[in-house]
Homo-oligomer: A and B are copies of this chain.
Amino acid sequence: MSPEPAAKPAARPCSIAAALQVLGERWALLAVRELFYGNHRFEQIVRNTGAPRDRLTNRLRALEEAGVLERRQYQDRPVRHEYHLTEAGRQLAPVVQALRVWGDRWMVEEPPVTLHHHGHRVDPSWSCRECGEELSRGGLTLEIHSPGWRHDGPVPD
């Protein structure tokens, strides 16, 4: 047997990286945003995101393959489809909201959209479901389960 060629070292096994394989191009999450807003047709998504048509087509196909959205036919002749979020897609709400909160704070003068919750303006917090405490980095520790990548202990500063 001939020896295996030296492989490029693998990147850190990581579900953030896995998520970004699907979502890590801005037109993907902007298409998801439009589906949350109830805009399901290609022309609406093009218009509202400003995405180049060919890149949007590729992104929508990749999101469908990844199970984030599904196509539903709404017209026979010619055949036309709408895009709808699957359960996996709907569970992207916290990702989209976290980006909105951060963008509101750091990237715009005035928030162009506000969310309200039972009548009051939403200021979302990221908290621990078990103890109810808001998650700040203090008190958090990290456990890495992949061989070669161990790091048990506080999240370093």
Tell me the A residues contacting B by CB distance below 8 Å. 8-26, 29-30, 33, 36-38, 47-50, 67, 88, 90-108, 110-118, 120-133, 135, 137, 139-146, 149, 151, 155-157
Q: How far is it, in angstroms, between the C-alpha of A96 and the C-alpha of B19 when the chains are bound? A: 10
A88 touches B106 (CB 8 A): yes
Chain B residues with CB under 8 A of A96: 16
B16 touches A157 (CB 8 A): no
Chain B residues with CB under 8 A of A141: 115-117
- Say whether chain A's binding surface is mostly helix, strand, loop, or mixed: mixed
A37 touches B151 (CB 8 A): yes
Chain B residues with CB under 8 A of A91: 102, 105-106
The 3 closest A-B pairs by CB, nearest first: A38-B156, A24-B26, A15-B103
A113 touches B24 (CB 8 A): no
Which residue of the partner chain, among B21, B30, B94, B149, contacts A20 with CB atoms under 8 Å? B30
A135 touches B112 (CB 8 A): no
Q: How far is it, in angstroms, between the C-alpha of A151 and the C-alpha of B39 when the chains are bound? A: 12
